[in-house]
Each structure stands twice: as C-alpha cells, then as structure tokens.
C-alpha cells in the first residue's frame, strides 16, 4: 500500500468501514483495508501485474484438512497471546472470515 500511496494512485485517507470493523472485532474484515480505495485480495490468492495488465486474482491450491485448520488456529492463538492483543473472540472472527480459503474455487 505504501507504493500505491507514494505513486499517487490512492489518496491514503482512512477507510472508516475498516476501522469500525477493527474496533468491533479486533481485525480488519475482508475485503477492507485501512486505506480508502484499496481492497484486500481473497485469502490464499495473489494478483500479478504484467505489462501493465492485471492477471488474477489467483488462488494457490490448498487441501482442506482438520489437522491443518487446528494447527493454524493454534499458531494464531499463540501469536495473539504473545502480542497481548485480542482473545478468543478475535481468533474466532479471524478464522470465520478466512473459511473460504479452504474451499476449492474453480
């Protein structure tokens, strides 16, 4: 986002909907970002710019497994505790907002 701001592509003003989501849930809900006019890509995806054209967004292949979900949830919880932010509600909201990455999209 710094490159977009530095290049004058966006004005860099705060996105009030994202800030409201952050204050309510402790995280920025997808697809919002902190800056007006900038949206996040879906979880597990990327966007490529080649020769001035956008390609994507594309998703990386991902297999859904309960062990993967539990491992990621434990990692997230430890990170929340380590940085003393959020709690179980934040963890639940974060994981619920990311569920779509576990479904195959064609």
**CA-CA distances (angstroms) from residue 22 to 19, 26, 85?**
5, 5, 12
Within 13 Å, how many C-alpha atoms sit on residue 5's CB side?
Answer: 8
Partners of 58 in the β-ladder: 46
pLDDT (0 to 100) of residue 106: 47
- Each of the 106 residues of the chain gets a pLDDT tens digit; together they read 778 778 888 888 889 888 888 888 888 888 888 888 888 888 777 888 889 888 888 776 655 666 777 788 888 888 888 888 777 777 777 777 666 665 555 4
pTM tops 0.85, yes or no: no
């Amino acid at each position: 986002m710094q490159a977009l701001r530095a290049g004058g592509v966006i004005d860099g003003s705060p996105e009030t909907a994202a800030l409201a989501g952050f204050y309510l849930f402790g995280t920025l809900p997808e697809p919002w970002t902190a800056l007006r006019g900038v949206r996040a890509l879906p979880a597990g995806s990327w966007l490529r710019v080649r020769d001035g054209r956008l390609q994507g967004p594309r998703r990386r292949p991902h297999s859904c497994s309960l062990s993967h979900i539990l491992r990621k949830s434990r990692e997230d919880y430890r990170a929340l505790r380590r940085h003393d932010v959020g709690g179980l509600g934040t963890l639940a909201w974060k994981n619920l907002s990311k569920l779509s990455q576990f479904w195959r999209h064609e």
